[in-house]
Amino acid sequence: MHYDETDRLNNRYIPDVSIEVVINMDAPPLSIELQNLVKAIKRYLSLTMPEKAHNATNGNARIIMFLARDRDREIFQMDIEEHFGITRSTASRVLSLMEKKGLIERISVPQDARLKRIVLTDDANAIVEDLRGNAHRMEELLLEGITEGELRQTKDTIRQMRANIDEALLEVLEDDTKQERERRSEQEDKEER
């Protein structure tokens, strides 16, 4: 097949020798497509949220699912602070509200009465089952018509994209740190003069 300069300029030129990603300027970039997919998933999950789960706000639901996934170990307030990157006062306030809603209980541990294990109530466990069922239905819809091979390739590709962006972020953070050190050094030099 013959391609001319017009084909190349219209993004129809695909070289035989090397692999090139051809970006069609009329289509949104992949990053935007991925953001749109995530938004659509969140919207679906929000609109199909089981009635029982309405008692739990989004933040509560995340904590409930964290507690459900890790129910084989003792979880304390400090674990929630660390996992969600929140302050002690924020965690205390959120957990107190969840306790008032009947979603969690704080149970003293024998070795230290000051420590309180956080456990899900039966109501929260029912919410967990409803949320898992809803997420499973969403996953089935999302993967309809996609083969195991395509899914495996997609997951591999997403993992590689994540590794790429994580590496780029490290470089940016290292560069920012280097620039900050240079600024401080320059400032110290000025102060010494």
> What's the structural domain count of the chain?
3
Residue 157 pLDDT > 90: yes
Q: Give the model confidence (pLDDT) of 89-131 as tens digits.
A: 999 999 999 999 999 999 998 888 789 999 999 999 999 998 8
Q: Where are the beta strands (DSSP E) in 56-173?
A: 104-109, 112-120
| Residue 114 belongs to some domain of the structure | yes
| Residue 62 belongs to some domain of the structure | yes
Q: Do 53 and 29 belong together in one domain?
A: no
User: Which pair of structure tokens corresponds to residue 176?
Assistant: 């920012």
Beta-carbon contacts of 125 under 8 Å, excluding residues fewer than 6 positions away, are: 68
Among residues 104, 53, 54, the alpha carbon closest in space to that of 76 is found at: 104
Predicted confidence band of residue 14 (pLDDT cuts 50, 70, 90)? very low
Q: Do 164 and 109 belong together in one domain?
A: no
The dihedrals phi and psi of 70, each to the nearest 5 degrees, come to -110, 30
Q: Do 55 and 93 belong together in one domain?
A: yes
Residue 156 pLDDT > 50: yes
Using an 8 Å Cβ cutoff, are 116 and 74 in contact? Answer: no
Q: Do 77 and 99 belong together in one domain?
A: yes
Of 20-29, 136-145, 184-193, the one with minimum mean pLDDT is 20-29
- Please report, for the domain that includes residue 54, its CATH number: 1.10.10.10
Q: Do 140 and 94 belong together in one domain?
A: yes
Express as a percent the part of the chain with pLDDT over 90. 56
| Residue 118 belongs to some domain of the structure | yes
Q: Give the model confidence (pLDDT) of 32-59 as tens digits.
A: 999 999 999 989 988 888 877 776 777 7
Q: Is 113 helix (H, G, I), strand (E, B) or coil?
A: strand
| Residue 43 belongs to some domain of the structure | no
Q: Do 101 and 158 belong together in one domain?
A: no
User: Which pair of structure tokens corresponds to residue 172?
Assistant: 């940016």
For residue 14, how many other CB atoms are within 10 A of its CB? 12
Q: What is the pLDDT of residue 28?
A: 86
Predicted confidence band of residue 25 (pLDDT cuts 50, 70, 90)? low
User: Which pair of structure tokens corresponds to residue 127?
Assistant: 């919410």
Helices (H) and strands (E) in the chain, counts: 7, 2
| Residue 42 belongs to some domain of the structure | no
| Residue 86 belongs to some domain of the structure | yes
Q: Do 54 and 140 belong together in one domain?
A: yes
> Is the pLDDT higher at 104 or at 12?
104
Q: Do 155 and 132 belong together in one domain?
A: no
Q: Do 114 and 172 belong together in one domain?
A: no
Q: Is 133 helix (H, G, I), strand (E, B) or coil?
A: helix
Q: Report the C-alpha gap between 98 and 60 in whole angstroms.
A: 7
| Residue 40 belongs to some domain of the structure | no
Domain housing 132: 48-144
Q: Report the C-alpha gap between 50 and 133 in whole angstroms.
A: 9
Q: Do 73 and 137 belong together in one domain?
A: yes
DSSP of 115-143, one letter per residue? EEEEEE-HHHHHHHHHHHHHHHHHHHHHH
| Owner of token pair 């084989």 | 72
Q: Do 115 and 173 belong together in one domain?
A: no
Q: Do 111 and 63 belong together in one domain?
A: yes
Predicted confidence band of residue 180 (pLDDT cuts 50, 70, 90)? confident
